[in-house]
Structures are given as C-alpha cells and as structure tokens.
Amino acid sequence: MKLIRNPYVIFLPFLVLYAVVIYINKWPSLYGDEIRYADFAWHLLHGYYSPPKPHIDLWNGPGYPLTIVPFMWLKIHSLTITLMNAVYQYFALVFLYKALKLVTNHKMALLFTLPLAIYPNALSILPIMYTEAFTCLLVSSFIYSLTLCYTRGSIKYGIVAGLVLGYLTLTKIIFGYVLLIGLISCIVLLCFKKNRPYHLISVKILLIAFAVTMPYLAYTYHMTGKVFYWGNSGGMSLYWMSSPYDNEYGDWKLPELSNNQYPMLFKSPEGATMLKKNHSNEVKFILKHNEVEQDALFKQAAIRNIESHPFKFIVNYYYNGSRMLFNFPYSYSYQDGAIVGNIIRGSLLLWSSLIGIVVTLFNWKRVIYPIKFLLLLTGIYLGLSGTLSAYPRQLDVMVPVLLFWLGAIAFHLKKPSIRFAEDDIAEDISLSDLKGIGIKQAENISA
C-alpha cells in the first residue's frame, strides 16, 4: 500500500513515456532557442556569460544555461541534455502531487496531478532543449516548499521556497519584475493588521529570492551600467507587441522581417512584404546600434506606438491573452487544423480558471494563504506576460499553480476539512482549527 501511494513510483511510467517521446522526436541538430542556450552554457564553461562590450548579449538569464554546463564540460551529446526534460517533468509531477497531498488527500492529489502528466503542450515541447520542463519543475517545487512553510511552521521551508523562486527568476527573467511588484504588494499588506504574520513570511521569501538574483544583477550592472537590468530581450518584444498596424497582432518577428518564424506553416506570402513596408526603416536604424542600445531604442519606439495608438495596444494585449490560451492569432498567417485542439485545451483552462476565481472570491476567508500568495504572483506574472509578445509557453509553465489551486478548492467544497499528511500518517483538522494553527505557525516563522 505504501509503495502504491509513493509518488516516485506512481509517476515512473510517465518518466519512461517522456524519455521515449524525446528520443523519437529530437531533432539531430540544435535549432531555434536551443542554439542560444548552448552558446550561453559554452560561455559559462569558459568563464564569462555575455560577450565583452560593446556587443553585450543578455537575452536570457543564466538559470537554464547553468544546468547545461556540466554536460558540455563532459562533452555529452545534446540528446542526453534534452532527455533531462523527461526527468524535470517527472519531478514536477512528484512535487505537485506532494503539495496537493499536504492540503487534500491521495485521490484528489492524484486526480489533479494527472492532467499535468498528459498535458499536450508540455509533451509537444519536451523534445526541444528549451526551459519549459525545467521551469515547470521549479514552479512545482516552489508550490511544495511554500505549502510546507505554511503548514509545517518551519522557517527552513520558507528559505527553500525563496531559493527556488530566486532560481526561477534567473531562468525566466520576467519574474524579476514579479518579485518587485509582489514585494511592494506584500509590504503594503503589512500595513494592515489582518494576517500580518502571513504577509511577513511572504516578504521574507521574496527577499530571499531577490538575494539569489543579486550576483546576476551585479553582473548586468557591471556590464551595462544600468540598475535592475535583467536582459536586453524585452525591448524588441515590447516593440512587436505595440505594433499599430492592421493584421499585426503583437507576436514577435525576426529582425530580418522575413516572417518565417513560428508557426512555420501557413504563412501569408505577402507577410514579409508588409512587415518590411511597416517596419524596415525603423528596425534598420535600431539594428545599427549595439545590443543594449537596441533594447533601449526598441523600448522608445514601443512607447511612441503605445502613446499614438493606445487602443491598438489594448487590442494586442487581448490577442496576447488569446495566444497564451489558444495559440492564435498570428500576424500574416493562415489558420490550420491545430487550432481546434488549441481551442479545446485553452477553453478548459479558461473556464476552469474563471470558475475557480468565482469560488475563491466567495470563499476568500476559507482559502489557505499559500494559495493566496501563489495567485498573487501568478496574476502579476500573467499580467506582465501580456505586455510582451506572448505564447502558450508563458501560460503552460503556470499550469501546476492552476492545478494546485483548483485541487485545493475542489477538496474543500467536497469536505469542509483539510488533511495534513506527514509520511503515511494523516490527521483531519477543521478549517477553523487550521486558521488558528496557521496563525501560530506563521508567528513562529516570522519570529
């Protein structure tokens, strides 16, 4: 019975499945963002991250490239590196299950972990040496450590949560702004007496996460002279998202204006012509500068577009939300049959989230604080993602939060108690008792 309920055993078949999917579908050579991650790992292996001035390259954070360094040092084939995605996704399942088990029971934890195990978007990107599987692991690990922090009343889990969140920020640098806005929000909440011990824990977790990123921020300051500089990729993404032209929906385009990036199929042959007509002069002028200057100039151009066409920016923001959910629309592209599956999956995510929001708001006082904190960070992250060129990849990595949230809500609706499982021993505690115990634990951690 213990073996049957062991998550490392339960999800082992999926580890095998993921490995097979990767082995069958892995391309023989690197392409797309894989090349960039491998290049950064090669730089780290030789003692630097960005090339020297003036051609500074800080397109993404060092979190994922650092995981590749040992493989490159040992001269291991890229297939083996990509097979690590199977391991990452497997442990993401394990940690999500363990987090759910802390606040529900075995059946509910299993029920709400299985959708992540078979999530089509996650399976489709596993054979690519991208950050999504690793990010999914970090998100699930953060959920688990955060829930342990609030339910077990131990500061060590809060420290772990902060460390994981910090490394997540180094992997997905947009979380740097999530940390900042989240920290400001939690400090404001500290001004109110209600639930102050909980908010204080959140502040400490966010400060620990910031501490993890400080060496990288010190490095970017040394390279660029700019404070709180996370990378030079945001400017171009914001530029394309702010595009004021008809038939352009905020998706990212190559600086060569060739219109042949993802999705590769069903491209309008007039797309490249229209892109060059609309953007050629401005983009050519910007590309004459070095990379950091390009980032600043793209941001300036984006701000001009937003000021001149604010309604189009709002419309593009709407399209970004649609792409995160449905992988549609794309500029100068025909639709294909895959949109049907995308609509089904996206609709399930959308409507389950809307139902979850309504239920959560009506039962706000009964919702455990880890969920409230997770919803705060997730809301900030998704809101910020909409301001840049957004794709399903941005939403997919937060699916563990969605499943944890809905699983906990569904369990409490079914049964007005919460189950804390420590090893194989479980104890039912009423929600009223939980609130009192949680406050005491929060006060202990804060102290």
Tens-place pLDDT, residues 56-73: 999 999 999 999 999 999
Residue 419 lies in a domain: yes
pTM for the model: 0.91
Residue 174 lies in a domain: yes
Report the chain's mean pLDDT, rounded to a whole number.
Answer: 90
Classify residue 447 by its DSSP letter.
Answer: -
Higher pLDDT: 417 or 378? It is 378
Residue 15 lies in a domain: yes
Bridge partners for 417 per DSSP: 430
pLDDT over 80 (residue 442): no
Task: Tell me the C-alpha to C-alpha distance, in Å, between residue 403 and each of 51, 352, 397.
Answer: 41, 10, 12
Q: How far from the centroid of its chain's Cα atoms is residue 18's Cα?
A: 20
Tens-place pLDDT, residues 82-92: 999 999 999 99
Tens-place pLDDT, residues 11-51: 999 999 999 999 999 998 898 899 999 999 999 999 999 99
pLDDT over 60 (residue 420): no
The token pair at 390 is 């957004």
Cβ-proximal residues to 17 (8 Å cutoff; 6+ apart), any chain:
none
Question: Quick check: helix, strand or coil at residue 442?
Answer: helix
Q: Stretch 213-233: mean pLDDT, rounded?
A: 97
Higher pLDDT: 338 or 138? It is 138
Q: Stretch 225-235: mean pLDDT, rounded?
A: 96
What's the helix, strand, coil split of the chain in %, to 5? 70, 5, 25
Question: Quick check: helix, strand or coil at residue 240?
Answer: helix
With 0-12 / 13-18 / 19 or more C-beta atoms within 10 angstroms meaning exposed / middle / buried, residue 280 is exposed
**Domain count within the chain:** 1
* 374, 146 contact by CB (below 8 A): yes
Residue 347 lies in a domain: yes
pLDDT over 50 (residue 184): yes
Residue 2 lies in a domain: no
Predicted pLDDT of residue 414:
56
* 92, 396 contact by CB (below 8 A): no
Residue 1 lies in a domain: no
Question: Quick check: helix, strand or coil at residue 417?
Answer: strand
Q: Which of 248, 236, 251, 243 is nearest to 299 (CA)?
A: 236
Q: Which of 267, 166, 266 is nearest to 217 (CA)?
A: 166
pLDDT over 70 (residue 138): yes
* 54, 129 contact by CB (below 8 A): no
The token pair at 27 is 């391309």
Q: Residue 402: give the domain boundaries.
A: 7-446
Residue 130 lies in a domain: yes
Predicted pLDDT of residue 90:
98
Predicted pLDDT of residue 266:
58
Residue 220 lies in a domain: yes
Cβ-proximal residues to 218 (8 Å cutoff; 6+ apart), any chain:
none
Element (H, E) at 24: helix 12-25
- Tell me the residue length of the chain: 447
Task: Tell me the C-alpha to C-alpha distance, in Å, between residue 336 and each of 266, 275, 395.
Answer: 7, 22, 21
Higher pLDDT: 144 or 247? It is 144
Q: Taking the CB of residue 115, how many other CB atoms lie within 10 A of it?
A: 17
Q: Which range scores top for mean pLDDT: 53-57, 306-310, 340-344?
A: 306-310
